[in-house]
Amino acid sequence: MSSRSLMAANWKMYKTVEQSLAYARELVRRLEEEPVFDVEQLICPTMPALYPLVQRLAGTSVRVGAQTLDLGQEGANTGAVSGYLVREAGAEYVIVGHSERRQLYGEDDTLVRDKSVAAAQARLTPILCVGETRDQRQAGQTDAVIVRQVEPVIEALASDADLVIAYEPLWAIGTGVLPEPKEANRVAEIIRQVVDRIRPNFSRQVRILYGGSVNRDNICDFAAQPGLDGALVGGASLDVGHWLQLNRFWREVRA
């Protein structure tokens, strides 16, 4: 298990370039006054804001990632943004297989696997998102879904690839309804078992995050779970003050 927590902000389709830069300026100013140690902060902005944000945060402790990528490197693919281009813009991470991509854009497990491999080949760390629907949970299929989503990625990644896995049950995203923190911890352990079955001891370097309606009221409950290494945060990351609170609460619980 990684010794350093990761807090990842997924801004989705929010914030213009100017708004993103204003956020970054305020974040850096506050971190200079009160640094958040032992927590790696990652911001995943909209694609137009990716390069400007990388430039603004250069030299700081805050990392920048992309929210998705397309397959290939260069070519006649209108509207596509490859991992190569994302990396050239300065990103270090990329979210892969987020539930909204799976549901709204039809990304299946095979495409998510291929995108994870493409990310690693572009020297990006994929944040692989996995999770079950409400119907699947009620049918007792959570573990089977997690195994099905994790296995092909671990089998396909090169042995030297970095990886983050985010458990984000689809029924919890943006709903305010969350799994019990102990249940999220149990699923994290299932993920580690799958990883180690395919690649022994690899899970020691894989950070596992929880994602889905994370906010200042529940973050401490998830931080208290030993199997979780951080959180993937949506709406609660859009305000600088709220975002820093989440990071500080996580740090205090894990201290």
As annotated, the active-site residues are 98, 168
Q: Which are the contacts of 93, defined by CB distance < 8 A and separation ≥ 6?
A: 8, 42, 44, 63, 64, 65, 66, 124, 125, 126, 127, 164
Q: How many residues does the chain have?
A: 255
Beta bridge partners of 164: 127, 207
Q: Is the dihedral of CA 36, 27, 245, 5 positive or negative?
A: negative
Could you tell me which of 86, 3, 85, 73 has the C-alpha nearest to residue 45?
Answer: 86
Could you tell me which of 86, 83, 136, 128 has the C-alpha nearest to residue 109?
Answer: 128
What region, left, alpha or beta, does residue 168 occupy, with left being phi > 0 and alpha being psi -120 to 50 degrees? beta
Q: Which are the contacts of 78, defined by CB distance < 8 A and separation ≥ 6?
A: none
